[in-house]
Amino acid sequence: MDGSRIAFKGTLQQLLEKVETGEMIPKMQASHAPMCKFMTAFLVLNGIRHCVPLVHAPTGCALLMSEWARRSACCERRGVPLEPVPCTTFDESDVIYGGEGKLLEAVQEADKKYHPDLIVILSCCTAGIIGDDVEMIAQEAEKLVNSRVLAIKSEGFGGDFRSGYEDAFKLIMELMEPPKKKQEKTINILGARVGPTATEISEDLKEIERLLGEVGIKINAEIAGGCTVEEIRRAREVELNASWCYDWGQKLGDLMKDRFGMPYSRTGLPYGLKATEEWLLGVARPLGMEKEALEVIKRETKKVLPELDCLERTLKGKTVIVEPTTVFNGPIRGLAMARMVEEFGAHPIVINIHPYTIKERVPSIKYLLETGLNPEVILTKGVFRLGSYSEMWQTEEELEKVVQGYDNAIYFGSSDRYPPCPVVNLGLVSRFPRYGFKGIQNIARLVETALKDTSRPRSKLFKEMIYG
């Protein structure tokens, strides 16, 4: 391996230590900055049905979210109506004299036109700079309309992408009413952001629903993955909260535990047999349903014995290069995949988790380390310096050089990459479960296909089209 191309090579624990001391944080953060606080807050609220996110900003912010989050990736294929994204359309006069009056009128107009269950005002950078009090306007507007009205200070300079998610989940707690009765054997799934758009892999959520149903566990709400305001109101009536994704669910789980005393099941992502068992038992045990869960695990494991044998046979003794930023929707999923391949006897190497993403996920990374997950990590200079996860000739060349350093490598990532080894194209399961037992079946098929197709030539033309 050419060491001149490597910015970091070590364990996940060592990378975390370098991030916490500031050694591995680049100075030019904007070169690889993720979405702003407004965008991530919007994505959470987008997951509540019959909720109107009212954007207090110039038209550009609303246009971006309505086109990208609610139209381009729209739920017309998911059976959920496309809902509006109204905007106060800030202009020069509003910047000088303030936009609070216009905002109050906009709330009333949205209530009259759309009759939503909930209106959430999101402030953007312009409103934040001039100091419009969106929270006060929300309180006043709620007296004049039929729907609930809440507000979140979500201007982009007011925090990073993570604070947008977390502040939006915190805001949702304001809708949760004191419990009227206890819903036995019922849970909430926390941290989802699917809603009426494809911002996550909803098929994974369906696999969780299926397994919980087999055990006899009911779901009150998937917050905020297509849930209703009424389901959020009843959220405190359940016996337990569990994570859809530990990285996003843990904050809301901790908040609800501290504020309402609700138990929270701390479990990682159910990739592979061991993690799936841990996830299901982590939910079933607090509910007194361990016996039922074990029966489901035994029955489901029997169904996937051929796939388990395939994964052990094909991965044992191999070096698996996992690139989480290409098709994994974030580094935590990539790390969960590294744990899965290690379970089947492979040596995982996670390539190009940027220190910036580690910095924003320290609690989740520390939890994974506590579970014993501490894979080898390689960060190439191209990604560290350029700060982009997109395929480019520098990162492609670096990936190829890294893979050449191992005799028995398998690449887990995108088919847009051209490393000299079998390529497990995980992009093919972006519309199929990776979680649970169905995920085991899907990933086993992809691994087997990758090994069979290794000798087939790949298109040089497509590579030139991607990388030049």
With the C-alpha atoms ordered 121, 39, 357, 129, is the resulting torsion angle positive or negative?
Answer: negative
Strand (E) or helix (H) holding 247? helix 246-260
Largest distance between two CA atoms of the chain: 69
pLDDT at 124 over 50: yes
- Amino acid 31: pLDDT: 47
- Amino acid 60: pLDDT: 78
CB 220 within 8 A of CB 187: yes
Q: Which residues pair with 223 in a beta bridge?
A: 190
The pLDDT confidence band at residue 2, using thresholds 50, 70 and 90, is low
Residues 162-167: what's their mean pLDDT?
A: 86
For the chain, domain boundaries = 3-31+306-467, 37-159, 175-303
Residues 330-346: what's their mean pLDDT?
A: 90
User: Token digits for 324?
Assistant: 């989480």
DSSP assignments along 362-402, one per residue = HHHHHHHHHTT---EEEEEHHHHHH---S--HHHHHHHHHH
- Amino acid 62: pLDDT: 75
CATH code, residues 37-159? 3.40.50.1980
Give the lowest-confidence range in 269-278, 343-352, 358-367, 429-438.
429-438
pLDDT at 437 over 90: yes
Q: CA dist 437 to 283, 284, 352, 427, 456, Å?
A: 16, 17, 28, 18, 30
Fold of 175-303: Rossmann fold (3.40.50)
Assign residue 217 a region: left if phi > 0, alpha if psi is -120 to 50, beta otherwise? beta
pLDDT tens for each residue of 177-219: 999 999 999 999 998 765 544 444 578 888 999 999 999 999 9
- How many C-alpha atoms does 51 have within 13 Å on its Cβ side? 30
Residue type, 47: G
Give the lowest-confidence range in 2-16, 119-133, 229-243, 323-337.
323-337
Q: Which residues pair with 8 in a beta bridge?
A: 379
Between CA 279 and CA 205 the distance in angstroms is: 13
Residues 376-389: what's their mean pLDDT?
A: 77
Between CA 162 and CA 168 the distance in angstroms is: 10
Helix (H, G, I), strand (E, B) or coil at 53: strand
Helix (H, G, I), strand (E, B) or coil at 280: helix
Q: What angle do CA 329, 66, 435 make, to 5 degrees?
A: 25
CB 256 within 8 A of CB 221: no
Strand (E) or helix (H) holding 120? strand 118-123
Q: Which residues pair with 347 in a beta bridge?
A: 319
The pLDDT confidence band at residue 429, using thresholds 50, 70 and 90, is low
Between CA 275 and CA 272 the distance in angstroms is: 6
Asked: is 3-31+306-467 a CATH 3.40.50 domain? The reply is yes
- Amino acid 74: pLDDT: 46
User: Token digits for 109?
Assistant: 């107009």
Between CA 383 and CA 400 the distance in angstroms is: 14
305 CB neighbour count, 10 Å cutoff: 9
The pLDDT confidence band at residue 15, using thresholds 50, 70 and 90, is very high
pLDDT at 125 over 60: yes
Instruction: Examine domains 3-31+306-467 and 37-159 and report if their fold is the same.
Output: yes
Residues of the chain with pLDDT > 90: what percent?
50
Strand (E) or helix (H) holding 437? helix 436-452
- Amino acid 322: pLDDT: 93
DSSP assignments along 299-368, one per residue = HHHHHTHHHHHHHHHHHTTPEEEE-HHHHSSSHHHHHHHHHHHHHTT-EEEEE---HHHHHTTHHHHHHH
pLDDT tens for each residue of 345-376: 999 999 988 888 888 888 889 988 988 899 99
DSSP assignments along 68-108, one per residue = IIIIITBGGGTT-------B----HHHHHH-SHHHHHHHHH
Residue type, 428: L
pLDDT tens for each residue of 219-239: 999 998 888 999 999 999 999
> Comparing 409 with 382, which gets the higher pLDDT?
409
The pLDDT confidence band at residue 258, using thresholds 50, 70 and 90, is very high
- Amino acid 165: pLDDT: 86
Residues 421-434: what's their mean pLDDT?
A: 79
- Amino acid 30: pLDDT: 43
Residues 249-270: what's their mean pLDDT?
A: 91
Helix (H, G, I), strand (E, B) or coil at 30: helix
CB 55 within 8 A of CB 124: yes
User: Token digits for 133?
Assistant: 């009090």
Does residue 224 have a cis peptide bond before it, meaning omega lies within 30 degrees of 0? Answer: yes
Residues 151-166: what's their mean pLDDT?
A: 86
The pLDDT confidence band at residue 321, using thresholds 50, 70 and 90, is very high
pLDDT at 78 over 50: no
Between CA 154 and CA 161 the distance in angstroms is: 10
Distance from the Cα of residue 256 to its chain's centroid: 20
- Mean model confidence pLDDT for the chain: 86
